[in-house]
Amino acid sequence: MEKHQIKEYISHEKIQTKEYELAEQISKDYQGKDIYFICVLKGASVFAINLALKIKENVHLEFIEVSSYEGMESTGTIQLNKDITSSIEGKDVIIVEDIIDTGRTLNYLKEYLLTKNPKSLKICTLIDKKERRVVELEPDYSGFTIEDKFIVGYGLDLDEDYRNLPYIGIIE
């Protein structure tokens, strides 16, 4: 039973279409290469796996977990909860994120992962909230740019609820 009223904002069909577009671009950019996805847990897991399934090249999955949110607000403090377990040195790496908001988390991850000497490091996000950005950061691959709304579903949560919605919704 839902604790909040949720209105569909981005349909499952639109998400699927966008994933195919992103997969096509990534496959073209990395033709003949192995790609190392670093999925940012937990929110990006649904997007990362569905995107990987649509990519023609070989995709390795690695997971990293950071936290910076309490409820609906960013704390501004980033904590590394789970590190990657494989070496990415000399590899073509794409950080796969569910949403870029202030940009602090992705900036932290980018700087941290660059210390591990990947051959290349790019960022792919499903959702980009540009108007909330407080650090200079642009994703290399972006699904949807949205206004400043708190969204849930398709991996995005509110205190761990609603991740399994097949669409992206807005809490009303």
Q: State the catalytic residues.
A: 101
Which two tokens mark 155?
Answer: 């991996």
Question: Using only C-alpha atoms, what is the Rg of the chain?
Answer: 15
Cβ-based neighbour number of residue 116 at 10 Å: 17
Nearest to 102 by CA among 82, 74, 72, 124: 74
Distance CA 42, CA 128 (A): 17
**DSSP track, 70-127:** ETTEEEEEEEEEE---S--TT-EEEEEEEEESSSHHHHHHHHHHHTT--SEEEEEEEE
